[in-house]
Amino acid sequence: MKFSVAVLPGDGIGPEVTQESVLILDEIGKLYGHEFTYAYGPVGGVAIDSFGTALPAETAKIASKADAVLFGAVGGPKWDDPSAAVRPEDGILGIRRHLKLFANLRPVQVYPELLEASPIKPDILKGADFLVIRELTGGLYFGKPKKRWETKTGRQSVDTLKYSETEIRRIVRVAFELARGRRKLVTSVDKANVLETSRLWRQVATEVASDYPDVAIEHMLVDTAAMQLVSNPKRFDVVVTENMFGDILTDEAAVVSGSMGMLPSASLAGIPDLDQGKRTRGLYEPIHGSAPDIAGKGLANPTASILSAAFMLRYSLSLGTEAMAIESAVAEVLREGYRTADIAEGASDHLSTVEMGSQILRRIR
Ligand code: IPM
Ligand code: MN
């Protein structure tokens, strides 16, 4: 089959890790008889430098025309000025909005081989395996008014936290659908003791739960969830939460897992129905960000990007077998002891970005 992929490498280590994913996709194409064509577009800081905007119209067009988007990362010290009119982050936020990617899937898996790389004690962490589903196009990130103004007594600013019942229902449904293929527990995270949006969230989540009698639901306050993530990560199966809480909790979860450089993500415009082979438009990116401090040094771990490409095959291209082939190759490479610097744990020899990519590629069959 033929597929078109929009490739938006972005800033920092984005281009290095994304390149490895493209090579992996080419290998999948060769082995399984598919043809992937790539349309590249600038996004983030590099786009600001050449076009004055983090999401040029042409890039948005490339992204909406493709079967799926493979995304690197955006941001870096060069564009960090808080008073700048344009910011690299507008690139990713703009695409999420433009493609209506409301569901962000961030699986947190703990590889037995990498237990020691986590700041959490191995016996607390061992066996943890959960999926965070973050609402991605609403809440504080996009609510209006969002502005700053001057008053007699000084500067003031506002962001708006707003959620409609429709937005809540569709994201909570994603959680329940995916929980059916897992351990059948949904933890809905909110701050219902303080926030009105959270009280609506809890109510709607409870309503949705009644359509899924086979899946259990629990409600948890976000501060409790932050504690539980480090003290008892094994208790979670599927976690669903609003945009801002999800942003914070997923970084915490990534560090807990000890394998930030290993974690992929998918941002989807619909509910994936893998049994029906239903395709969903999506954007796939490593969760680690642009890591400007190690950019261009060949130190970055390409695994998170490569696993994101696997997600792309599964969720947007209905190529589940091919996705599994990539995931098995990654697991094999880890088992055999290959490591990039981020997961090398003091070992003196570690692989470069390209070397890690080729080790994974070689094991795909
Ligand atoms: C993420 C990132 C983004 C976010 C930034 C780059 C805008 O932190 O994907 O988690 O806050 O959503
Ligand atoms: Mn984040």
Q: Where in the chain is the domain with CATH 3.40.718.10?
A: 1-111+266-365, 119-257
Which atom of ligand 1 is nearest the CA belonging to 74? 6
| Mean pLDDT calculated for residue range 217-223 | 98
Tell whether the model's pLDDT for residue 344 goes beyond 90: no
| Mean pLDDT calculated for residue range 345-357 | 88
Rounded-to-integer distance, Cα 83 and Cα 304, Å? 32
CB contact at 8 A, 319 and 41: no
Q: Which of 8, 105, 247 gets mutated to test ligand 1 (max ligand atoms within 8 A of its CB)?
A: 247
CB contact at 8 A, 66 and 4: yes
Separation of CA 135 and ligand 1 centre (Å): 12
Name residue, tokens 């290998």. 27
Amino acid at 257: S
| Phi, psi (deg, nearest 5) at residue 137 | -125, 15
Protein fold of 1-111+266-365: Isopropylmalate Dehydrogenase (3.40.718)
Residues within 5 Å of ion ligand 2 by Cβ?
247
Q: Is the pTM of this model over 0.85?
A: yes
Rounded-to-integer distance, Cα 202 and Cα 25, Å? 41
| Mean pLDDT calculated for residue range 117-145 | 96
Residues contacting ligand 1 via CB (< 6 Å): 75, 89, 92-93, 247
Rounded-to-integer distance, Cα 240 and Cα 202, Å? 11
Alpha helices in 80-120, H assignment, sequence order? 89-98
The predicted structure's pLDDT at residue 252 = 95
Separation of CA 265 and ligand 1 centre (Å): 12
Which atom of ligand 1 is nearest the CA belonging to 243? 12
Of the chain, the percentage scoring pLDDT greater than 70 comes to 98
The predicted structure's pLDDT at residue 278 = 72
**pLDDT digit string, tens, across residues 133-173:** 999 999 999 999 999 999 999 999 999 999 999 999 999 99
pLDDT band of 26, cuts 50, 70, 90: very high
Q: Which of 93, 101, 106 gets mutated to test ligand 1 (max ligand atoms within 8 A of its CB)?
A: 93
The predicted structure's pLDDT at residue 348 = 66
292 token code pair: 């400007």
The predicted structure's pLDDT at residue 206 = 98
Separation of CA 20 and ligand 2 centre (Å): 23
Whether 247 is catalytic: yes
Tell whether the model's pLDDT for residue 345 goes beyond 80: no
Catalytic residue among 141, 163, 284, 315: 141
**pLDDT digit string, tens, across residues 268-323:** 999 877 667 677 889 999 999 999 999 999 999 999 999 999 999 999 999 999 99
Ligand nearest to the CA of 141: 1
50 token code pair: 């050449």
Strand 154-160 relative to strand 143-151: parallel, antiparallel, unpaired? antiparallel
3-state DSSP call for residue 137?
Answer: coil
Whether 190 is catalytic: no
Please name every residue paired with 241 in a beta bridge, in sequence order, or none if there are none.
134, 189
3-state DSSP call for residue 72?
Answer: strand
Separation of CA 154 and ligand 2 centre (Å): 30
Separation of CA 182 and ligand 1 centre (Å): 26
Whether 223 is catalytic: yes
Please name every residue paired with 220 in a beta bridge, in sequence order, or none if there are none.
189
Whose alpha carbon is nearest atom 11 of ligand 1?
247
Tell whether the model's pLDDT for residue 72 goes beyond 80: yes
Rounded-to-integer distance, Cα 264 and Cα 18, Å? 12
Which atom of ligand 1 is nearest the CA belonging to 247? 10
**pLDDT digit string, tens, across residues 268-280:** 999 877 667 677 8
Q: Which of 8, 89, 159, 288 gets mutated to test ligand 1 (max ligand atoms within 8 A of its CB)?
A: 89
CB contact at 8 A, 313 and 74: no
Rounded-to-integer distance, Cα 293 and Cα 18, Å? 17
| Mean pLDDT calculated for residue range 40-61 | 98
Protein fold of 119-257: Isopropylmalate Dehydrogenase (3.40.718)
Q: How many CB atoms lie within 10 A of CB 287?
A: 22
Whose alpha carbon is nearest atom 6 of ligand 1?
89
Of the chain, the percentage scoring pLDDT greater than 90 comes to 91
Whether 141 is catalytic: yes
316 token code pair: 């947007």
- What radius of gyration do the chain's Cα atoms show? 20
